[in-house]
Amino acid sequence: MLKKILVNSALLIGSLSLFFFGIEFGLRLTGLQTVQPNPPQVYQKNDNPVISYTLKPNINEHAFRSTVTTDENGFRINTQKIEEDTREKPTIAVIGDSITFGYGVENNETLPARLEERMPNFHFINTGVPGYLLSQEVALYNAITRKMDPEAVMLVFFWNDLDGFEPGKVDDLGILRSHDWQSTDQQCVPITEGILRYLPGKCWLDTHSAFYKAFKKLTNMVSGNKALEKTREQATQGEIEDPVDMQNVQTYIQQLTAFTETLPVKHYFVIWPDRYVHTQSRTELIRAAEKLEYIVIDLTDIFGNSAPTLGWDTVHPHPDTIQKAADYIENIMRSKTL
């Protein structure tokens, strides 16, 4: 009896080992999941400490599950319009972070691309860079975009712009890091939820197993989407107060004021919603922007705190969301007779 149990146990362990090793080999062979860091090859360091980093110029790279194509300035371009001569068109500079850049969507699905599709008499310049803060956006505008003499400026605001004011940086591998990241920081980020958090050797698996890393992504996606829906519901029901530090709002307004005083052209302030219901901070931002003579376009009016995001990401907008936002923005811009 004992021998039979041992044999069956050995067969079970062998079968499971073959199963997991098969998946491991398949993931590595197909490239669906890598073990070593696989940074997006789109960033380069910048000598200006305020700018810190930019997108590489003249690239056509696969990154963030999409293709990223840039021009000689490192600005993302719509490849469907690449042969079109835009030199005679008045330009509108769209500045912002990953929302403007179009994280996770194709070149022709970004907000500037969608706006130009609807307003073909204008050329919308996409100067968005993932991770950028207002200080970086302003510095990049002053270094490059201002010389392009735009007809108008559109600033796309997202709420993580208020999380801090120290620019991030790119490490030697091309991975975007926080401003205080050090090369000695721990690279292991194992699964911390569910039964797998008790698995021994988690850090070794996180840096050596394609299967573990793929499963971690799936686990994080599922838990992230659940947390997103719960937070949205709690925020809508008033169970979560405005999470923004009002001191950070004042700091942002000070930076915005200093920048706007140098803008002799028409300017738009687009508020992109997140999962929370912002009360005091949103009111304060709108009041300040209107005082600075921005045309405020608050997308909370059409999405509330439930703007649909990418299926694998709980922050960045789905292409359909961008399209709907572009429709709304276009209507307001036309009503202002731009």
C-alpha–C-alpha distance, residues 24 and 237, integer Å: 44
Nearest to 95, CA basis, from 33, 160, 141: 141
What's the pLDDT tens digit per position in 51-90?
999 999 999 999 999 999 999 999 999 988 766 666 678 9
Averaged pLDDT, 331-336: 89
C-alpha–C-alpha distance, residues 207 and 187, integer Å: 8
Averaged pLDDT, 176-205: 73
Measured from the Cβ of residue 208, the count of other Cβ atoms closer than 10 Å reads 13
C-alpha–C-alpha distance, residues 316 and 103, integer Å: 7
Query: Helices (DSSP H) in the chain: which residue ranges?
Result: 2-30, 98-101, 111-118, 134-143, 202-208, 210-236, 246-260, 280-291, 300-303, 319-335
Residue 268 in this model has a pLDDT that exceeds 70: yes
Contact 170, 132 (CB under 8 A): no
Tokens 């491991």 — which residue?
24
Q: Which of 78-92, 134-148, 185-199, 311-325 has the lowest mean pLDDT?
A: 185-199
Residues 6+ apart with CB under 8 A from 232: 275, 305, 306
Averaged pLDDT, 181-193: 71
C-alpha–C-alpha distance, residues 165 and 270, integer Å: 20
C-alpha–C-alpha distance, residues 115 and 92, integer Å: 10
Averaged pLDDT, 112-134: 96
Q: pLDDT band at residue 139, thresholds of 50, 70 and 90?
A: very high
DSSP conformational letter for 195: G
Nearest to 39, CA basis, from 60, 64, 57, 59: 64
User: Which amino acid does the sequence have at 109?
Assistant: E
Nearest to 332, CA basis, from 107, 160, 152: 152
Of residues 212 and 258, more confidently modeled: 258
Q: What percent of the chain has pLDDT over 90?
A: 59
Give pLDDT, residue 168.
Answer: 94
What's the pLDDT tens digit per position in 5-41?
655 556 556 565 565 566 655 655 565 556 666 788 9
Residues 6+ apart with CB under 8 A from 80: 107, 108, 113
Residues 6+ apart with CB under 8 A from 120: none
Q: What percent of the chain has pLDDT over 70?
A: 77
What is the pTM (predicted TM-score) of this model? Answer: 0.87
C-alpha–C-alpha distance, residues 338 and 91, integer Å: 11
C-alpha–C-alpha distance, residues 171 and 319, integer Å: 30
Instruction: Determine the 3-state secondary structure of 13 from DSSP.
Output: helix
Nearest to 91, CA basis, from 121, 55, 136, 113: 121
Instruction: Determine the 3-state secondary structure of 169 from DSSP.
Output: strand
Residue 178 in this model has a pLDDT that exceeds 70: yes
Measured from the Cβ of residue 291, the count of other Cβ atoms closer than 10 Å reads 11
Give pLDDT, residue 313.
Answer: 87
Nearest to 108, CA basis, from 76, 136, 137, 84: 76
Give pLDDT, residue 256.
Answer: 97
Nearest to 131, CA basis, from 211, 42, 198: 42
Averaged pLDDT, 161-173: 92
Residue 138 in this model has a pLDDT that exceeds 90: yes
Instruction: Determine the 3-state secondary structure of 278 from DSSP.
Output: coil
